[in-house]
Each structure stands twice: as structure tokens, then as C-alpha cells.
Amino acid sequence: MLELLSLLQSGRDWPGAELAERLGTSPRTLRRDLDRLRELGYPVRSARGPGGSYRLVAGRALPPLMFTDDEAVAAVVGLRFAALATGDPGADDALRKLEQALPDRLRHRTEAVSSATQGSARPMAAADPAVVAGLATAAKAHRHADFDYTSRNGVSRRRVEPYRQVLLGRRWYLFAFDRDREDWRTFRLDRIAAVHVPGTTFRPREVPENGMTAFGTARAGGAVVHFDAPVEVVAERLRAEAGSLIAVDDRRCRYVTGTDDWAWLAASVAAVGVAYRVEGPPELVEETRALARRVAEAVSAPAPP
């Protein structure tokens, strides 16, 4: 039955004769095991016809899942990185449950990942999973959404047409059309609360010409850096991947991005290791000057006795 469940969870339609052959059992035993799975809460749909076919479909509740060895290790690795990057307690809880259920033959593989993986000292700002799921569902179905948003001016109620959730720097943003301001906006997901999706729909608009990521980076801060190196060289070395890296000519390129951590961005562009110039904004210019002062002091300070 466990092997049968693993085959059904592949998502395909299985002819009865093929299932029985794969399991090395009789059609009668196969039908009995399928009935037993249904009794346990697994919604197995059967189709009539020559030999019949079977498929596991979505039900009202999430049943226990079957993983192959490689799938189980991949799930643990993915959850571990999610927990380290976002600090989401849901990822931690799911990871703990999965690790407790792992057989000994897989435990050493996941423990190796754990011992060799270190989280960032400053993880991304975690958004409420209910907010992420609610807005993602609304965006996919083209449904209006409204929510409380905390900005520098306080809390306000915003009515939007949600389009995408975009990773910029160390934070997640919602890219949406603000219905009251009649303009495109980006909203930090960790500052969104009390999401309400009334059920009304909207006709999708044409996104800005420069693309969603470029527009979002401009709204999130508009940092612009010019590198005196080919775009291929900078792309291989630049850690701050969120944003737009555009070739100016064969020897130069321009990087446009947005972040709430200017010190981190200043260090990231300096680490590329080529000549560059910061165009703006003032926050990034000041952090770059502060970084230069710290570097100069580090190499000019006398060695300790």
C-alpha cells in the first residue's frame, strides 16, 4: 500500500493493469488496497473503461505524503534554507517534523547539510504567511485586495490590484496598482496586515515598459551604480542579484536596484572588485563614503604591540 501511494502521488493517471504489474499484485488485491486508501482519507478517483485508471486528486484535508529518498532530502534542504532566510516559524515546524520522521539511512545526508550551512546574521524580514498566501491567491485570480499598510506616515488602508510578489535585496515586496492613487506601487510584505479579498475581479493592466523588477527597484529606493567593466564580468561577481544590470557598451554597465539596507548594498557593489561610481540615492552615497573611511582606517591603523 505504501508503494501504491507513492506511485499515485506522482500526479499521473495509472491504468489498473499497469499499477498491478508495477506492484506485482493481482487486480483484485489492487482494488482492495485502493479502497483501503480511500477509507484512510486519500481521495483516489477511478475512471471506467478497458482496464480502468486511477488518480490521486486533491481532497478537503492534506493527507500524509510519501517521499522517495531524494525527495525527502530535497524537502529538508529547501525547508532549512527557507527557515534560515526568512525566520518563518512555519518552516521551522515543518522542518522539525520531517527530520524526526527521516530513516537513519537519510539522516547523515541531511545532517551534513545542516553542519555545512550557516544562516545570514540578518535574515530577510519575514512576512505573515497568511498575507503572502492571500495576496498570491488574489494576484493569480485577478481579484482586488485591500489591507492595512504601515509606512513612515503611519497606518493607512490601501486598495490595490495585486500582480506579483518580488524579492528586492533582503525584503519581499508586493507589486500592485494602487486604485486610490491610480498609479503603480510596491509595498513591503512585512508591513502589510489585515488583508481582505472582497471577491471582485479586475482586468489585468499592461505592466510598466521597463518591467516589473526595474519599476519595483526604482520605487524601493532607486539606487544606481555604474561599473567600469563588461556586464558579463559584473554579473558573475555581484551578490546583490535583485535589480537590473544593463550593458552601456562593451566596457561598461549600469546597475539599478532598491533596498532598505544601504550599508549592505554599499559593501556588495564594492565587493565586485572593479572601478565603479555611485549615482545615488544620497543614502547609498553616504554609506559608500563611510565604507571607504572604515577601509582607510583599517589599513592605516598601527599594528597592536
Region of poorest pLDDT, from 52-56, 64-68, 115-119, 299-303: 115-119
User: Higher model confidence: residue 86 or residue 192?
Assistant: 192
pTM of the model: 0.49
- CATH at residue 144: 2.30.30
Query: Are 139 and 205 in the same domain?
Result: yes
Domain total of the chain: 4
Residue 85 in this model has a pLDDT that exceeds 90:
no
- Cell digits for 62? 492534506
Q: Are 37 and 1 in contact (CB under 8 A)?
A: yes
Is residue 124 domain-resident? no
Query: Are 81 and 46 in the same domain?
Result: no
Q: Are 164 and 170 in contact (CB under 8 A)?
A: no
Tell me whether residue 87 is exposed, middle or buried, using C-beta atoms within 10 angstroms of its C-beta: 0 to 12, 13 to 18, 19 or more: middle
Mind listing the pLDDT tens digit for each residue in 252-293? 999 988 666 788 889 989 999 999 999 988 889 999 999 999
| Residue 218: predicted pLDDT | 47
Angle between helix axes 104-115 and 69-86 (nearest 10 degrees) is 30
Most confident by average pLDDT, 13-22, 207-216, 228-237, 257-266: 228-237
| Residue 64: predicted pLDDT | 67
Is residue 64 domain-resident? no
CA dist list (Å): 273 to 226, 286, 292 = 13, 19, 14
Q: Are 75 and 97 in contact (CB under 8 A)?
A: no
- CATH at residue 28: 1.10.10.10
Burial 65-81 (b: 16+ CB within 10 A, else e): ebbeeeebbebbbebbe
Structural domain of 45: 2-56
Is residue 214 domain-resident? no
